[in-house]
Structure 1
């Protein structure tokens, strides 16, 4: 009798990821994940060696946002896994699909307080859709397949799989693996909990048709309809569907911050961002619409600031965020297909009314003095970046970009909105650049955030990625300083004694220059974009210039 061929679980996992046409994995090796790295050595998958595990998670996050496909990040046990927490929490808050793989101490030592033993799953459970400790190789194969399916078809967010080192090295029957690789992955309700790919209120049964008919009636009798787009439109690959629907029925569109560009902000039907920092036109529309189609948005407190009392039809795959008057747990693309022939009453009067309100944010930028005003710096960066993708970090520059940038394409403004960690921008730009290799990437970062992930300059330099880093140096934690001076009796512990950033970038073999005169940034940006290699531009800006307070 012939003995069945065997394969280590680590090798089987890589085979599954290859079948899914995985191109990049962002990670940092360590002892307990080494069997997986040994398997990667022989794989067509490209491993991107980040310089910190948090950077690996942020890079996978940036890759996912830029490609609208799940990102994958890998770390080892204990410190390695815990270093990823910030990046995973960032993705969770913004519903970014990540497959997070960690190694762990061997199963016989779990809970024995051995070297690097910690309850990793308890840490990841609150910041992931699912966190699984793998107990045997067969379970590992089954769960990773279901996780991939869920990430592609269910509500989006991180899924964490924790593999003890000994389990990674155990063998499985390759004939079973071959069967698994040929399967159309089916849903296990107990495993996938509330993330079932097929669970949707759009299955054409009698109850669902009643809900859809209610939606159609509300839209058809509407005189002031409004579409509010969230990032779920991007994840469902429904940007084009949304624009076609809006144009066909002449319905204006507003967006949440993560969805900016889902329809070009130059489009006649686009009113721009709604809510906190929203445009006058968007917030007027939100307050006065008689029906609001909320597509793929969780309606955060900042978005709700722009809404009035009009009835809300909310569509989202995450049932937990459904708070509208009519709630549909379903895919946005599928929903738009089902109501595409639903026409509201003539909206000409409504659109004419909206024309009276401003769709632009008016910020003065014509300052000629030095030190450079940050809004002048941002204006020159935006003018010089051509059609590059812009990645934001966290800080006062984020507000200036928000106020000054016109977003014309989906996923062309990448940032962390819900969590807002400093240090996001540079590692996220690595993932964005690899996801969109035909595009130049521009990062805008402050001197505080820059120093939280500066080590990732090594990754950028090693891979010669076409990334321009615009470092706004105000020698302080500017936004925190502003809040302290407004509300806490003056600034404290926010002044930064910075290094020579040009020399620092040069030490990483990155071309760098410092600018301290207005008017020079635009030319430097054009040259950097044309060079299409890593460049750092340090811009000395006025440390006393505050962002405008929200209206």
Structure 2
């Protein structure tokens, strides 16, 4: 091999230095690719990657870099409390940064690393970049089996970290230091690719982390990963234009890709020019303002009546940056039999769905090109009038849900109305699971891209609080609200302690209804009689969990983790509490009691949840009959 200038470092030290010198660039804006590293240390990484992070920090301070500023070879470190939570925090950060900046997550061998599996699945499903660095067994196998090591007699090279393979967009195990020279750049390529991005995993055997190697100095040069904007191919654009020009009842559906590409202005201009109504998915809400004349609200199983009514009669459906999940398509029942599709997506895999005319391109570039190519086209006046009428009906529904009279505890919809008053266009509202996503899709009036942050690809309970930390790190000037139910809160409250220790301020709105509202409603409507969906003590008379309420004090729990806590008693007190939380400079948890069985927004679409085909329970028998009737509306989009 040719002579190269080298520097002797351990693999852990080299990886920290390499990551510190990676950059992204989009539209002429250059940013450091990695904002930092979340980590929990244990055997396997405390003396490897952990030492590398410490050494980079120490060398920066010795070189005169002030505390709070970042040295050239340094990767800022954040101590998380839970490995799954830190991946959620990293996902929240990357989403808030529109996927141009991201975080690494480091964990110890065994359970520390496999705790990140749920976060890996979430990141990959949602197409959000995060770098996972799980520690692994000894490459030299001398002390095998080490503590927490899986042993498979048929495959000694298989470890628990192989579980990351199907959950990662790129996976490698670094058995020797020099393998990092080839693998690390490939990992960066995937992370920076808007079509391929997701979880990227580099498994790090613990002895390799501490092993020294003579690294080429060139490996640590600043490298810029350019995030391109693929333009539509002329023939693909022409086919899309032809389909749309012949449409009498077109409908555009904006997904998360419209947000990530920064296509809001282009989408608004397209709607202004053509009059084509715009529905949105959970990930796409906010791409167009809720009060724009073409904005018809959320589409699908929990969508607005306006969007679903238009979808049922649409002849051409233009999907922009959506992967068409079952909630968006109402399990393939929301569109009528005459609908055909035009899909705009950076990922060919998603663009090809539903037998669509494919436009594989960046959302902003494609919408700009479509607007120009469709010059002179606009929807007919009758259709435009119908869109206006349906929009107005949907907004009256929202007003009614916000103002619903309910007692003695308020309905969740009324709580969301108060929250919608508090969250400005410059703020961020985060939610992920439970009944809130369904209510929010109809009810939240999003005024800006990035204001509405719903994790609904994996709909992971416990996402909200750690994600709020990541979002606040990415957008320090925004007020960040984490809306979480008591079920989700009990899954992962630990990062409240991280928020407090780091001095990061978020507002947590904890809706306490002593159970699972959405699953309870789903259970009741599908013949399972709300079984196992309320937090109750074991009843010795019935043997079931239908005794008194659990004596759990979530407000005290939040306070014990260091947060300030407010417990408003009603909607007026909630308004006051949210104002106080906004004025506070510390993380504040606002705990509000709601009715577990309070009214939900009216449903206008279906979701495929199979019901037991045979049962002795009359409620299940009736639900099965309804299921057999409703599923006849399903069809393949070919």
Normalised by the size of structure 2, how large is the TM-score? 0.78
Could you tell me how far apart the structure 1 residues matched to 2:217 and 2:242 are? 50
Could you tell me how far apart the structure 1 residues matched to 2:213 and 2:276 are? 55
Distance 1:498 1:411, change over 3 A: farther
CA contact (8 A) 2:411 2:599 kept: no
Could you tell me how far apart the structure 2 residues matched to 1:299 and 1:84 are? 26
CA contact (8 A) 1:223 1:346 kept: no
1:458 shift after superposition: 0.4
Could you tell me how far apart the structure 2 residues matched to 1:58 and 1:159 are? 14
Distance 1:540 1:489, change over 3 A: closer
Aligned to 1:192: none
CA contact (8 A) 2:294 2:387 kept: no
Distance 1:268 1:82, change over 3 A: same
Aligned to 2:339: 310
What's the secondary structure of 1:423's corresponding residue?
Answer: coil
CA contact (8 A) 1:131 1:159 kept: yes
Aligned to 1:143: 183
> Is 1:478 matched up with 2:511?
no
Distance 1:338 1:152, change over 3 A: farther
Distance 1:218 1:445, change over 3 A: same
> Is 1:374 matched up with 2:412?
yes
Distance 1:330 1:142, change over 3 A: farther
Matches within 5 A, 1:248-327: 248-305=273-330, 306-308=334-336, 309-321=338-350, 322-323=352-353, 324-327=355-358
1:185 shift after superposition: 6.6
CA contact (8 A) 2:86 2:105 kept: yes
Q: Given the alignment, which residue of 115, 130, 133 partners 2:173?
A: 133
Normalised by the size of structure 1, how large is the TM-score? 0.89
Q: Given the alignment, which residue of 336, 342, 354 partners 2:367?
A: 336
Aligned length: 535
What's the secondary structure of 2:84's corresponding residue?
Answer: helix
Distance 1:110 1:161, change over 3 A: farther
What's the secondary structure of 1:102's corresponding residue?
Answer: strand
RMSD of Structure 2 on Structure 1 (CA): 2.7
1:511 shift after superposition: 1.4
Could you tell me how far apart the structure 1 residues matched to 2:103 and 2:310 are? 36
> Is 1:537 matched up with 2:590?
yes
Aligned to 1:453: 492
Could you tell me how far apart the structure 2 residues matched to 1:213 and 1:397 are? 41
Aligned to 1:500: 553
Matches within 5 A, 1:101-116: 101-109=133-141, 112-116=144-148
Distance 1:441 1:2, change over 3 A: closer
Could you tell me how far apart the structure 2 residues matched to 1:522 and 1:540 are? 14
CA contact (8 A) 2:249 2:379 kept: yes
Could you tell me how far apart the structure 1 residues matched to 2:142 and 2:361 are? 39
Distance 1:514 1:47, change over 3 A: same
Matches within 5 A, 1:39-188: 39-41=52-54, 42-43=56-57, 44=70, 45-69=75-99, 70-109=102-141, 112-118=144-150, 119-155=159-195, 156-174=197-215, 176-178=216-218, 181=221
> Is 1:229 matched up with 2:231?
no
Could you tell me how far apart the structure 2 residues matched to 1:327 and 1:82 are? 38
Could you tell me how far apart the structure 1 residues matched to 2:558 and 2:300 are? 38
Aligned to 1:15: 17
> Is 1:351 matched up with 2:384?
yes
Could you tell me how far apart the structure 1 residues matched to 2:249 and 2:524 are? 43
Further displaced range: 384-393 or 463-472: 384-393
CA contact (8 A) 1:422 1:449 kept: yes
> Is 1:409 matched up with 2:448?
yes
> Is 1:422 matched up with 2:461?
yes
1:171 shift after superposition: 3.6
| Higher-Rg member (1/2) | 2
**Cα deviations by residue, 1:21-72 (Å, 9 ceiling, x for unpaired):** 2223222222212321222222433222111001011111111121112343
- Mind listing any 5+ residue stretches in structure 2 that lack a counterpart? 23-31, 58-69, 151-158, 537-549, 605-638
1:179 shift after superposition: 5.0
Distance 1:319 1:117, change over 3 A: farther
Could you tell me how far apart the structure 2 residues matched to 1:141 and 1:441 are? 39
Further displaced range: 130-139 or 107-116: 107-116
> Is 1:514 matched up with 2:557?
no
What's the secondary structure of 1:314's corresponding residue?
Answer: strand
**Cα deviations by residue, 1:77-112 (Å, 9 ceiling, x for unpaired):** 210111111122122222222222212122123995
Distance 1:399 1:153, change over 3 A: same
Could you tell me how far apart the structure 2 residues matched to 1:124 and 1:107 are? 18
Further displaced range: 294-303 or 143-152: 143-152
Aligned to 1:384: 422
Aligned to 1:212: 237
Aligned to 1:37: 50
CA contact (8 A) 2:516 2:596 kept: no
CA contact (8 A) 1:110 1:117 kept: no
Could you tell me how far apart the structure 2 residues matched to 1:135 and 1:348 are? 64
Could you tell me how far apart the structure 2 residues matched to 1:413 and 1:274 are? 15
What's the secondary structure of 1:301's corresponding residue?
Answer: coil
Could you tell me how far apart the structure 1 residues matched to 2:76 and 2:510 are? 29
Further displaced range: 219-228 or 371-380: 219-228
